[in-house]
Amino acid sequence: MAVMKDLNQHLHRRGNRWHYVRRVPSEYADFDPRGMIRKSLKTESLEVARARRDALAEADEQFWATVAISGQGLTGANPVSKQTRHAMREYQAARQRAMAKGFMYTPVQEIAAQEDVADILDRLSAIPVRNAPDKTEADAVLGTVSPPAVKISQALEVYFSEIAVTDQIGKSDSQLKSWRKVKRRAVSNFVKVVDDLPMHKINRDHARKFYNWWSDRLRPTDGSKPLSGNSADRDLGNLRKLFREYWKYEGDENRQNPFRNLNFGNGNSLKDIPHFEDEFVRSRLLIPGVFDGLNDEAALIVYAMIETGCRPSELANILPENIVLDDDVPHVKIKATKTRQLKTVSSVRDIPLVGVSLEAMKRAPNGFSHYRDKGNLLSGSLMKAFRIRKLMPTQNHRIYSFRHSFEKRMLEAGLDYGLRCLLMGHKNSRPLYGDGGSMEYRRDELLKIAHPIDDRFISSLPSVG
């Protein structure tokens, strides 16, 4: 919205009616030949005049912004051309001007096809005529400004640079790279399967073609291994959101989303990852030397996961001030930082340290700097180490299996549902009473499920400072 220095800026009264009057800024004079802008607001009401003035001022400033922006472009993989950027602003300005005149912006073809002659006459009468009709007003009211031909690959760059700004605040470099990667993959797949189409031309047939392409990959007929529905739904979801947010940004919130209600919803997920059985953990993992040759920080992260249920990334990125070892109840604080987000709001939590996890964190009081903001390196290193040592009971086991084991042990030991949600960082679907219990209470409950460890194993643990 245009910012006014005072409530009545650009408003002039002539007789009983209000007018919108302002001079074209000098820096745009060569681009906008109108010089002094004078438009009747066709109202005696100051309140109505202010609202119409706001719409016209917003339209003008959107239009002038073209000059400043057209020379800058975007810095992504598919920058929007100067011509396209100009068309985007011109189209938005036309929509604003039509609204200021009391009309919904409607393409001229639709106006011509409608049977409401009264509406057409109203539109024609709203066009100012002196020596000749005002072309800018006529284009807006009669819908002759074409939608900008922004390709989907270019719309994604607009999304990154202008629309989803707040979504990127607080993400680390690694998180930001991952966040953008899945969105680029969705658009890249769509371009490969359909085409790099202008956003306003993408329709349901195109969306269905993309859906069917994924469907064939989930149910291959050539004997190849079926892919997970998670990737398909993630692509469809990202395209659905891009389409919705782009047109909302362009002021066309009512445009029907061609990707609506297209999803598979039956792919594998984290819930399908099996847990590690207690006996396997005790006999294969909690023994001296099992991780000899693995980076010491990676080995300690594994042991820290066992009795905390933390996500690997939560431990890899924990800061020294969030490792509290000198408290009556040693614990870790899982919280966001200025440069890194957590997965969800409910992920914020304090977890007592017991058993092997306490011993691991004692040996890493300053955290794990080698893996900080390097989630892929940690994941790759651990998966390789586990497979070489034959520590994955099945092909479906993952490092996340420790987290599932932690949750299962709490359930079977009868720990309170709310406490389980809190310690896992899950949203509690039940009404919340209190703060989840004292740290002493949480520690005592976790001691019920802690794996036994002996002095020989403890003395074998590495230290990283």
pLDDT class of 67 with cuts at 50, 70, 90: very low
Pick the closest to residue 343 from 367, 311, 316 (CA basis). Answer: 311
Mean pLDDT lowest among 140-144, 190-194, 259-263: 140-144
- Fold that domain 272-460 belongs to in CATH: hpI Integrase; Chain A (1.10.443)
Average pLDDT over residues 351-360: 96
Pick the closest to residue 457 from 269, 260, 289, 205 (CA basis). Answer: 289
* Each residue's pLDDT tens digit, 3-27: 566 788 999 998 888 898 998 887 7
pLDDT value of position 435: 62
Going by their DSSP bridges, the two strands 17-23 and 11-14 should be labelled as antiparallel
Q: How far is C-alpha 83 from the chain's CA centre?
A: 29
pLDDT score of 46 more than 60:
yes
Average pLDDT over residues 292-321: 95
Contact in structure between 281 and 448 (CB atoms under 8 Å): no
228 or 313, which is more confident?
A: 313
384 or 270, which is more confident?
A: 384
Q: Please provide the size of the chain in residues.
A: 465
CATH of 152-267, one of 3.10.20, 3.40.50, 1.10.150, 3.30.70: 1.10.150
pLDDT score of 70 more than 50:
no
Domain boundaries, the chain: 11-142, 152-267, 272-460
pLDDT score of 352 more than 70:
yes
- How far lies 439's CA from each of 329, 408, 433, 446, in Å? 6, 21, 16, 10
pLDDT value of position 113: 72
